[in-house]
Amino acid sequence: MTTNFKVFTLNCWALAVVSKNRKSRILAIAEVLSSSEFDVVCLQEIWTDRDYQLIRNIVSSVLPYSHYFYSGVTGSGICILSKHQIEETFFHQWSVNGYIHKLHHGDWWGGKGVGLCRLKVESETDTFYVNVYSAHLHAEYNRASDDYQAHRVLQAYDTAQFILLTSSSADLVVLAGDLNTEPGDLSYRVILTMPGMTDAYMQSGNLSQDMYATCESYKNSYTPRSLIKDKVLGKRIDYIMYHPGSNVKVDVKNYSQPLPDRVPNKSYSYSDHEAVMVELNISRDIKSSRNMPDDTIKWAVLEEGIMLCKEAQKSIARTRVLYWLGVILLFPLLLLSLIVPAVVNTRFFDSYPALFSVLRVVLTVLTIFCFLMATLWSKIEMHGVKSGKLAMQVSLKKLQTNHDS
């Protein structure tokens, strides 16, 4: 006997004030989910508690169990809603997650990480324990010059190791979310390879262009017109991945983007991302075992990751020098702005007191900022990258030892 298990994921793009049509879109998302038959729903970018509570209350009749992963200043943005009982939860916050001073990106402020809900899925003939993970990796703001590649790869490795180390007793492992990485990227390969995940899209057989793009899709109302005009396919960065446990067989019955192109009676889409739904068939199979990828694939991925970490360490060291140069240049100017007006009696200084007050404030802020970035922040980022690199080296050494033996 098989058990159907339907997974839904959507990046809801629910930034307060900033996101267009947020309130009406969140209400529309909640209404769709309330009439759905999904077993588990993973949402990202739910940044306000009010939006979470609204969705939770509206869908409670069909998804009675829910959990929000609070983290950072604004919250992780991640929540999981379930038809089945949530038995355990855990949140792992990543050690590197963007920059505190880049407010226009804001990833650091969310305290991002990977959330886990362990579900007890009961059918008429069997009970399955399913580990559902949801994550939202650091955004790629500029693919040509990506300042966050190392951060995202380390987040992917952390997520992969977290799944590997917490899923040994699970009958099924599911990872759903906005991973901000395209197929073939190192982050994508790390998440697939290390814990042995399967990309449901690749297994579904539904590889049409209509089902490909989950961001910047030509169907989406929020996609820039220039991309639509140039017939840009869009990016697949939202995923549902899975891995069966021992003695369990999983088949992909259906893969789709279940939401209409527009909110009913509106001119806009549900989000700037497309939702993804996967229906899995789960069954017991005593012949099945937890298959893992070939070690040579892991070996290559780890070597590439370690090399990227080494380059990131060099970049952090160079940036640290630049911040120290900033301190060296700015601090004397700050002293001059304090000393010169006091010892030189000129009408110029007396005529523009407000100007010199503003100048002192600006110089003070910039000097403190450069000092903190050169000391505390550089050290934090360096330790985060070094920690990830050392973890990869441990995994690589294990593979090398197994190969030699």
- What range defines the domain where residue 372 resides? 296-404
Chosen domain end from 292, 308, 339:
292
> Is the same domain home to 262 and 346?
no
**Enzyme catalytic residues:** 273
Instruction: From 305, 296, 302, select the one nearest 396 (Cα to Cα).
Output: 302
Q: Which two tokens stand for residue 341?
A: 């007006």
Do residues 333 and 363 lie in contact, with contact meaning Cβ atoms separated by under 8 Å?
yes
> Is the same domain home to 135 and 251?
yes
Chosen domain end from 246, 274, 292:
292
> Is the same domain home to 387 and 247?
no
Largest CA distance in the chain: 93
- What is the DSSP track for 261-273? SS-TTSSS-S-SB
In the predicted model, is pLDDT for residue 347 greater than 70? Answer: no
At 296, the pLDDT band (50, 70, 90 cuts) reads confident
> Is the same domain home to 28 and 58?
yes
What digits encode the pLDDT tens for the residues 88-123?
999 999 988 877 777 666 676 778 999 999 999 998
Bridge partners, 199 (sequence order) = 241
- Euclidean distance between CA atoms 175 and 347, whole angstroms: 68
> Is the same domain home to 288 and 192?
yes
> Is the same domain home to 145 and 199?
yes
What digits encode the pLDDT tens for the residues 232-289?
789 999 999 999 998 899 999 999 999 999 999 999 999 999 999 999 999 988 666 5
Chosen domain end from 225, 258, 292:
292
> Is the same domain home to 246 and 319?
no
What's the pLDDT score for residue 343? 57
